[in-house]
Amino acid sequence: QVQPVESGGGLVQAGGSLRLSCVASGRTFSGYVMGWFRQTPGKEREIVAAISRSGSGTYYAGSVKGRFTISRDNTKNTVYLQMNSLNPEDTAVYYCAARLRLSIATERTEYDYWGQGTQVTVSS
């Protein structure tokens, strides 16, 4: 079992960058696929990016491809989301999630453990 805890959110101007971090407690972090999701009021929680257990495989939602980069450091039990060229449509609460399966998944129901979320606000 892991408990993800996100950090790094905040207020940034359009065109700026932020890096989110998620530290997941537990001794078996490398056994989990990790994902970043985001949610705005009245909308479903949607996948942003996901990374395989080793870090060799990644997935990106079309809206962030080329702007966001997901990475992980299994020695630090940490997954990162580097967000560049931010725009107001990226404003949301960002959640880190862990999945105890072999394959990357894109549906929130396929993830087992969730953090509390961190707010990202992009001003125009």
The tens-digit pLDDT sequence of the chain (124 residues) is 899 999 999 999 999 999 999 999 887 899 999 999 999 999 999 999 999 999 999 999 999 999 999 999 999 999 999 999 999 999 999 999 999 999 999 999 999 999 999 999 999 9
* pLDDT at residue 26 in the model: 80
Query: In the chain, what's the furthest Cα-to-Cα distance?
Result: 41
Question: What pLDDT does 6 receive?
Answer: 98
Alpha-carbon distance 121 to 124, whole Å?
A: 10
Tell how far CA 7 is from the center of its chain.
11
Alpha-carbon dihedral 85, 22, 93, 66, rounded to 10 degrees: 30
pLDDT at 93: 98
Relative to beta strand 92-99, strand 46-51 is unpaired
Residues 6+ apart with CB under 8 A from 58: 49, 50, 51, 52, 70, 104
